[in-house]
Chain A
């Protein structure tokens, strides 16, 4: 008992130490950033730190973007509107990719004929990056919301599909045998055995897909869109507002991070103690 308690306390100290270490590195990056801007460092790749805004300025701008009261311009307290618009596009694209990718992956993983029919097409389209789709999408869909959601859907779709497919293929045959000898067959096996058994892998795919959705957002929103974090960054670049670009980057990074946490927590609530998400 004593050793158990000690072990647990040790674990907590460990966690605290690790957190402190992580935060320390972040602070170090900010410090170097500040020093670099002041000292006008030129780094590898020709990074000219002098062109960057200092961290304090970015922090002020970020505050104003979120809560207003500092600069009183078009961007004051506008974060939530932009974030909301971007989030809804990400959710639409991610939702669509999930709604198509998961069932298709399950069917491909379970039925050789579905797999035979779709595998070549998937392998042909998969290597084309979403960025390469942009020019074509702008030509055949046109600037705007639909093009953005399409690009997000596309980029989230393949990791979701492929992870689902792999997870379904890796379901131990024993699980299926157990289901069958207990009196299940056909759709029962698919829905009550295969899908739950594959869920940890499917969830991994969803997380990767959601991450990519935020990645591609900036590209999608770069054209013909007024409201959205990507649109805001694009406009800031055109106006050579480096500080605003950095603020937009930070917000998108945080949004991507938080959406992953929300997804994992949400599934956690849904699954309870069931071991359905990879540790």
Chain B
């Protein structure tokens, strides 16, 4: 069963080439509310993400992590710089860039299966094909027993699995996740991290994960982007450091090297935070 599910996901791999990300001098200025000055959320962000790479973005709240992700998703447009995914400029949301929200954002009036077939059906995939593919994807996130449930009947962790499944059903080249496990309890969170790791390996999809947890970042990412600043600091949010996670494939969260790296990240995040 599992192997069939895997084959469904490996089909995605050919799209992964399209998942490279280029941010070049990206800035975002939100118009200020009545009488107030504009909010310069981020400025001069340069970042390249290779196809298939897993990049985590960390930093204090307000430093513009969500803003960057929303620009890549196409929900917002940058006010300066170049934003490209798969070599093409981002002009709006698209099904090749799947977004996983912290609050899941599932359609409560649709069953798990209908939520997962929503994307493919909207793209014109025939009903039967979409259904079959959906069942496979639902299996890979371990929810086969719940296909006919409604989101409101599921736990937070299960809802987030559905949210991941519904974007995977679209064979996305890029997965954008904004603190996806932030609302989950510690145990569920760890489980979800394992699953995300497995899914990333099986699909080869490029992943950009915003997280508050440095451990999560160390455990999952190939590289960790540390952001700092933020409108409330008087400096626009920017990338202050990019840390390569050279821990190999099997990562022991209690291991010596893991902890050393995590400490390095803590220093990077907090050092920037307390700087003038």
Contact = CB atoms under 8 A, between A and B. Distances in A.
Contacts of B118: 179, 182, 184, 192
Contacts of A184: 118, 122
A174 B101 contact: yes
Contacts of A275: 108-109, 150, 152
Contacts of A180: 74-75, 92-93
Interface string B91-124: 0111101110101011111100000001100110
Contact of A199 (B95, B105, B109, B170): B109
A181 B97 contact: yes
Residue of B75, B92, B105, B106 with most chain A CB atoms under a 10 A cut-off: B105
A183 B107 CA distance: 14
B105 A175 contact: yes
- The dominant DSSP class at the A interface is helix
B58 interface: no
Contact of B93 (A174, A175, A181, A193): A181
A179 B94 CA distance: 10
Interface in A238-253: none
A182 B119 contact: yes
A276 B109 CA distance: 6
A182 B101 contact: no
A31 interface: no
Nearest to A199: B109
A183 B75 contact: no
B167 interface: yes
Contact of A178 (B94, B105, B123, B150): B105
Nearest to A183: B95
Interface string A175-195: 101111111110010001100
B109 A181 contact: no
A53 interface: no
Contacts of A177: 73, 75, 93, 99, 101, 105
B107 A196 contact: yes
B166 interface: yes
Q: Give the interface size class of chain B.
A: 20 to 34
Given A177-B75, A196-B109, A275-B109, A182 B103 contact: no
A192 B106 CA distance: 13
Given A174-B103, A174-B105, A182-B170, A274 B122 contact: no
Interface in B128-157: 150, 152
A178 B122 contact: no
A178 B95 contact: no
A180 B101 CA distance: 13
Contacts of B98: 181-182
A181 B150 CA distance: 21
A197 interface: yes
A193 B93 CA distance: 15
B119 A183 contact: yes
Contacts of B75: 177, 180-181
B109 A178 contact: no
A278 interface: no
Contact of B122 (A175, A183, A196, A197): A183
B122 A188 contact: yes
B91 to A, nearest CB: 12
A190 to B, nearest CB: 13
Contacts of A183: 94-95, 119, 122-123, 170
Contacts of B107: 175, 178, 193, 196-197
A118 B75 CA distance: 29
Contacts of A197: 107, 109
A180 B99 CA distance: 10
A92 B172 CA distance: 49
A183 B97 CA distance: 9
Contacts of B95: 181-183
Contacts of B150: 273-275
Nearest to A174: B105
A184 B94 CA distance: 8
Contacts of B101: 174, 177-178
B71 to A, nearest CB: 13
Nearest to B98: A181
A176 to B, nearest CB: 9
Contact of B73 (A175, A179, A181, A273): A181
Contacts of A178: 99, 101, 105-107
Given A274-B150, A275-B152, A182 B106 contact: no
A182 B109 contact: no
Nearest to A180: B93
Q: Nearest 3 pairs between A and B by C-beta? A: A183-B95, A182-B119, A180-B93
Interface of A: 174-175, 177-185, 188, 192-193, 196-197, 199, 273-276
Given A183-B119, A196-B109, 20 more contacts: A174-B105, A177-B105, A178-B99, A178-B101, A179-B122, A181-B75, A181-B93, A181-B98, A181-B99, A182-B118, A182-B119, A182-B167, A182-B170, A183-B94, A183-B123, A183-B170, A184-B122, A188-B122, A193-B107, A199-B109
